[in-house]
Structure 1
């Protein structure tokens, strides 16, 4: 689970409960290894670091059958208020990191006979909201990456799924305070990280002949 901080931790936990040996990856993690879990600190926007991650994972637990690409960052700002540096940071976290993860792990999965690449997108990968220019641009790009990978990997045994949740109550919202912003979903009505994790677990544990292309989740109205 690259990006196992914040909401990604719930997905890692759900997969562990389902019986998987789980590799959690995040910049903030301390190295830990048990019989059922491996924690690896890694900057997923760094190509060399991701290459080293592949070596660490394959030498410890083998080629993964399931990769949940959850790395990302969140920002709310209008076009005029988005600095070029922040725009690049959003692209690095939300698009470059998943690209590097896919580029490094998918060939190994394909050679091993298949698996599942589950990419975590957002409602912002298909709906344009005001004051969301950098985040939406990166997430629309991520959906494009998903579509191309599905086309390239058709028939390979590697199934690619995109999970696009609506507003989800994680620490990413702490600096935004959606409850004080008109038009935003109140935190009490948002999805929970566990809701997204359950969707990931469902896809990950489906029989191999079942293909999930795009799963959209949202809080009930």
Structure 2
């Protein structure tokens, strides 16, 4: 199975240099997606002489993930692993996804949210997981973890429409609707105050989308 790493980024000049050095050590092919960065990110990438998939404007995480996935699949890869570039995902966990893809169509990373994560985020994530479980009959313990992987066949079935942070939730919902074989793998918990996450406005937007998916999917 040919597997590639897909890494969207937006204004990550502080983290990209280390990320690129680390992802190269994995020996896996990777696709960087610049989601309309306005800082010095692109120059950091150019320093490493890497071709980047680029959005002229900021379209959102979901759109960037789709751009990277479709580029990988169009080049003959069988599966992709999505990873954030801001330092919250450890490459030491990557082999877990590669191994799981041998038996599962979609793989979700699951952080131990009881340690090192603000209480409000822990409770919000658990509430979201329980809500999706009640509405759609699937329980994923860490619904909002962006560290995840899927095969090309799975992508064709769960091809999401969300352009922003709702993408993680939509992927879970569409995977159960499609009857995909899924699993979770434990990943390291890394939380930094400067890491961007789902805002309160994003959370309300995702909740609204969940109601729409319940009605329409």
Same fold (TM over 0.5): no
TM-score after normalising by structure 1: 0.35
TM-score after normalising by structure 2: 0.35
